[in-house]
Chain A
Amino acid sequence: MRIAVCIKQVPSTNEVRMDPVTHTIVRDARQSVTNPFDSYAIELAVQLGQKLNAETWGISMGIPATERLLRDACARGLDKAMLLTDRAFAGADTLATAYTLSLGIGYMGGADLVLCGRMAVDGDTAQIGPELAEHLGIPHVTDVCEVIEATPTKLVVRRLIEGGTQRLTVRLPALLTVAKDINQPRMPSIAGVRYGLEAPFVALGAAELGADPAHIGLAGSPTQVVRTYVPERGGEAIALEGDAATLAERLLEIIEEVSGHGRA
């Protein structure tokens, strides 16, 4: 049995640099971290891997420096890691990324269970999981907050829905995106860090994956970022003076002005 976890490198701060031409995030090795949501998927993979005696893989599409994060995931308990790295992958939107990841999972011989974080904290799309499941032709469940039962052939899970949760049974192979709080990601041990540095690792490019050039990178991305900008704050503070009645009156006027609604 094989479990694959998708891992994304994201900037560690909110202050990202944007490429002035492509309007996409400039990714470099400095200050980059594992997408926090993915750390829950890694922990779930380690737990299910132990329970179901499955081989666990971390997989990422990214720059070569992403190897560091994949080895960190191995330090936390994954068995192996695969990095899909090629200049041809640059500028990929979620569709092209999901296609590329599906090739990687195919290369490892397919996976019985694919786990993703619910979204990445930089792009915030939450699209990769469902798109990857479609590319792989397997069912998916999003926002999983609990795995109630796990066998090599099916999972019983609970997922977050608006105002409550939903209990679902899903046959394997399948893909789950996991919510935070599904578990508490462990820290690696010294023994784990040793393992991480030596863990089996494979890096693959577009040619090795047999990728269709029309479906990868910027060329394979129907989403084009037209403009990115930091929203301007237009707030303004007004100091009000007077007794309580005057203040309340004035406050009401301001609320009406701002909301555009007159008094009923």
Chain B
Amino acid sequence: MPYTLIKPMTEEYQVYLRDESRTIGRAEAIAFVRNEAELAVVLAKAHADGTPVTLQGARTGLAAAAVPNGGLVINLMRMDRVTGLRRDAEGRFYIRLQPGVILSQLNKRIADKRFDTTGWDDSALAAYAAFKEAPEQFFTPDPTESSCSIGGMVACNASGARSYRYGPVREHVSALRLMLTDGQILTIDRGQVFARGRRLTLTTDQGRRLDIRLPDYTMPRTKNASGYYVKDDMDAIDLIIGSDGTLGVITQIEVALQPLPGAIWGAACFFERESQAIDFVIKVRQELDQVGALEFFDARCLKLLRTARAENPAFGGLPAIPEQRTCIYVELHCADEQEAARRLFGLGEMMTACGGDERDTWVCRTVFDRDKLIFFRHAAPECVNMIIDQRKKRDPVITKLGTDMAVPDRHLKEVMAMYHRDLEALGLEYAIWGHVGNNHVHVNVLPRTAEEHGRTKALYLEWAKTISQLGGSVSAEHGVGKLKAGFLRVMYGDDAISQMTALKRAFDPKGLLGVGNLFAPEGEGR
């Protein structure tokens, strides 16, 4: 009966043709696998038939990596078990997960210290007993969409606001299992297998040897989720992280946990002028070590939120947004409340030094206030989605158009000026928010017509060129998927793309996995 795992893509499965990017794909069949054995059966069939396979998690991605481009969809959300805990010699905890575990549920289980331990071995149970007695722990990566899957996070090397302090998912992944299209398994523990220069040899659990020549491009020294991670003498595990579902199927992930800071306080700081806010960001970055997140909301974004609050009951719970034009959200991660208070007052002084007023702030120190600020921070993308969905009804060509580019610190002011100048010159409606601490803001254009949609795409391609020349990254956290594949070619050039294609072939000789991800159709991105 194994082939009943593969179901024809009938009406009831249409939702699996799209993701949060609002892109709609096509597929002939779908399989919801529950374990490696089922996955092996499905992959064997696809491999034998030469059917393209698109891997899918929670479909919260913004680059359409999970949107199928024909063939078979393998949805991994039923592989959703926490399979164990480990404690290393230094007392650090690691948690083993199947790819379909949802981030918000994982966070809750960690906070509650409550796991279903069915099937755990003795060492995992012993680690669990120690975990229950240990100080509170947390998994640091915090993408805005917490309903994402762990597998998806690893596939696109996701980040979040707190990546400013703790780095992207990559830095927290300690082990992976990857099933190749021929059913063989690669088990990779961090710190065990390294490249020699740009040569990497991997051996599957079944004994097949993969000799891989790593592409010779140099990655930008910014936050980056664009294309394969390659570096001289790199750890093999880093090649898999961020590979956008193009090399194999991640079936198990081990991530490291961190002790939760004694006090996490947030402050939303409002400024009259964007220039003051950017000066504040630069000052905070230089002078304050305890910053967990450093986020930005421009005047247009705040206006959007004010309107939503006034007009839409769903946004009625937003705090009354002050009249100032720019907001910087700073999250302090401190040992205790005394230290947090000192740092908070330091922030107030920095605000004053940059022309702001510490009375124009919201401080969150309690669970309830934190919920309000989380709502505030998440409301911007929600507002944009709602507006886009409305406009899409008028013209189906219109989709959400958000950038994900990052630049080195020294270019922050320059790119912010470029964004405003170019968008205003074209008369586009837009809002900007994002991770300003990493010089990584999301420009979101709200096209009113198909023509504006087209102009925006052309503008983004120009920006991709400029950002690449400044040593930046065309995708800092969303991954490349299908929507940014053209930008990747701009960023690294044709030779690098050919080398990436060769690398992919070593893992997936038939080229079945993630068709359209990373590699743009001929002509795009030129």
User: What residues make up the interface of A, taking CB atoms closer than 8 Å to B?
Assistant: 12, 33-34, 36, 39, 72, 75, 184, 186-194, 197
Contacts and interface: CB of A to CB of B under 8 A. Distances in A.
B369 A187 contact: yes
Given A190-B267, A190-B347, A184 B367 contact: no
Contacts of A72: 365-366
A189 B348 CA distance: 9
Contacts of A36: 368
Contact of A190 (B320, B358, B366, B367): B358
A197 B348 CA distance: 15
Contacts of A34: 366
B351 interface: yes
A13 to B, nearest CB: 9
A189 B324 CA distance: 15
B360 interface: yes
A33 B341 contact: no
Contacts of B365: 72, 188, 193
B120 interface: no
Nearest to A197: B341
Given A12-B367, A191-B348, A194-B348, A186 B319 contact: yes
B515 to A, nearest CB: 40
Given A186-B319, A187-B319, A187-B372, A192 B363 contact: yes
Contacts of B351: 190
Contacts of B341: 193, 197
Contacts of B373: 187
Q: Which of B317, B344, B369 has the most CB of A within 10 A?
A: B369
Interface of B: 267, 269, 317, 319-320, 341, 344-345, 347-348, 351, 358-369, 372-373
B319 A190 contact: no
Given A193-B341, A194-B345, A197-B341, A188 B319 contact: no
Contacts of A197: 341
B368 A190 contact: no
Nearest to B366: A33
A96 B124 CA distance: 50
B339 to A, nearest CB: 14
Given A194-B345, A194-B348, A188 B363 contact: yes
6 contacts: A75-B363, A187-B364, A189-B358, A189-B359, A190-B361, A193-B363
Given A187-B362, A190-B344, 14 more contacts: A75-B363, A184-B317, A187-B373, A188-B365, A189-B359, A190-B351, A190-B363, A191-B359, A192-B359, A192-B363, A193-B344, A193-B363, A194-B345, A194-B358
B305 to A, nearest CB: 14
A33 B368 CA distance: 9
A93 B471 CA distance: 67
Contacts of B345: 190, 193-194
Nearest to A186: B319
Contacts of A75: 363
Contacts of B267: 190
By Cβ-Cβ distance, the 9 closest A-B pairs, closest first, are A190-B348, A190-B358, A187-B362, A191-B359, A189-B361, A190-B361, A191-B358, A188-B363, A189-B359
